[in-house]
Structure formats: C-alpha cells, structure tokens
Amino acid sequence: MKNAQDLQSLQSTLYGLRLWGLRDVWLPGKATAQTRPTDSRETRELQGPETGPSPARQEPAQNAAAREAQREAKTKLLKEIREDLGDCRRCPLHRGRTQIVFGEGDAVARLVFVGEGPGADEDRLGRPFVGQAGQLLNKMIRAMGWRREEVYICNVVKCRPPGNRMPLPEEIERCAPFLVRQLEAVRPLVICSLGACASQTLLGANRPISELRQKIHVWRGIPLIATYHPAYLLRNGAKKADTWEDLQSVMELLTSFDA
C-alpha cells in the first residue's frame, strides 16, 4: 500500500463489494463516513448495540442539544404535513391502496432518498422500501457507513400504483406538493433520487436516468444526485458498480460539508 489514497480506494472498493453480498471483510482504522466497518458479527460486537448515531456522526454535546431541538421542530413539521395529506383522495390511486406510505426516518437527516412509489409490501406495512428493493437499499445505506434510521426515505407518490406500474403524470402532480414539503421540512445536505421517476420529477427533466446520473444537480438549493432504482438493480446486477460510483459521489458531497 503506497499511501493513504491507495488505502482509501481499497476500502471504498471493499465497501462497494458489499452491494454484491460480500461479507466479513473490514479494515480496522479510523471510522469515517467512508471507512466505517459494517455488518459482520465481529464488527457488530466492536460497534456495540445498534443505537445512537454512527461514530462518524457523533457530535459535541452543545451541537447535539441544538440538533435535538431542530429534530423536534422538524418532526412536528413532518407530522403536520402528514395530517394535511389526511385520508387523501386527490387522485385515483387511493382506490387501490391499503394505506398511505408517507415516508420515514430522521427528521434532521443529512441525506434523503426519494423513490417512486410504494409496492405491495410497502402498501401492506405502511413503510417505504421494506420489500426486496428495500433490502437492497438497506445494504446500499450500510455500505455508505450509515444506518437506515439516520437517513430519511420517501417516495414521489404515497399510494401504491396498481400492479406496480409507473405513477401517471396527474398522480405525480397531485402528490408532488407533499413531497416538496417533506423535502423542504427535512432540508438535507444531499438528496439521492432513486430511478427515473423520482429523478425526472424532482429535476423536471424528461431524460433517461443514464443521462441524469453522474452529475451534481441542485433541487431548491440542495445538491441532488440521481442513481438507479434498487428494483432495477435487482434485475440488472451489472449496474450495481455504476450505482456504487453514484453513492460514492453522495458520500464525497456529504464529507465536503464536514470540511
């Protein structure tokens, strides 16, 4: 290993390999957003129970107190948005849903993932990304050195489209104000849009995801990185490497805010 850059690049590659299911490879050393070991039994023991923020995000006490006050205010704001959504019947999607899937996560998350819309598992459980695609999203989040509870996850539409079809423009239009309010409430440091629907909706661009990724866009002053949807990755494993590149860009952006 010639220098720190080589080491960082090797660590980064190993964490990327986790997206392919690699387990039990970790490099001891200073924990950062890019290097924090995840997942294996050995590392879980070293990290202690899965509560509290990841080591990379532990803060001095006075910052933590301010953040807690902010969390309380933003949680209240999100609750108000959920109340305004109510028992929504603004578009025909309400007819086929079991329940509304509003979104979940830390109200002061530094990173927000935006997906397309609930699938069958999400519709049943009322939570975003809890099916197979959600399992992969969880792996992606962990590979980035985060815990799912530390990010915020939501969708463009809050009700399941029949047969998991793409949401129609008028459905997106009715639901979009609530997505905008959610993102404005959390105002993360970075937004990661998953797949064409979320990326095109937020960017107002009708271009394929392959053209929208690999760029830093800006949504209402917040940097946005578009990448492939986890459900697409389940069908096209070859795109996981590209996705990992996008997630590394997200991590670099987040790290740049710490500098």
Which C-beta is closer to ligand URA: that of 116 or that of 171?
A: 116
> Residue 225 corresponds to which tokens in the numbers above?
């990185």
In this chain, which stretch among 7-15, 45-53, 128-136, 239-247 interacts with ligand URA, using CB under 6 A?
128-136
Smallest CA-to-CA distance from 33 within 63, 6, 58 is with 58
CA distance between the termini of the chain = 26
Q: What stretches of the chain show up as alpha helix (H) in DSSP?
A: 4-17, 41-47, 61-85, 120-125, 132-143, 169-186, 195-203, 209-212, 230-235, 240-258
Q: Residue 191: beta bridge partners?
A: 112, 224
Pattern of binders to ligand URA over 132-171, x per CB under 6 A? -xx--------------------x----------------
- 116 binding ligand URA? (CB under 6 A): yes
Which C-beta is closer to ligand URA: that of 56 or that of 154?
A: 154
The answer for 65, left when phi > 0, alpha when psi is -120 to 50, beta otherwise, is alpha
- 226 binding ligand URA? (CB under 6 A): no
Number of residues that bind ligand URA (CB under 6 A): 13
- 129 binding ligand URA? (CB under 6 A): yes
Q: Which of 115, 161, 188, 223 binds ligand URA (CB under 6 A)?
A: 115
Q: Which residues contact 100 (CB under 8 A, 6 or more apart)?
A: 85, 87, 88, 126, 158, 159
Q: Which of 93, 109, 231, 253 binds ligand URA (CB under 6 A)?
A: 231
- 122 binding ligand URA? (CB under 6 A): yes
Binding site for ligand URA (CB under 6 A): 115-119, 122, 128-129, 131, 133-134, 155, 231
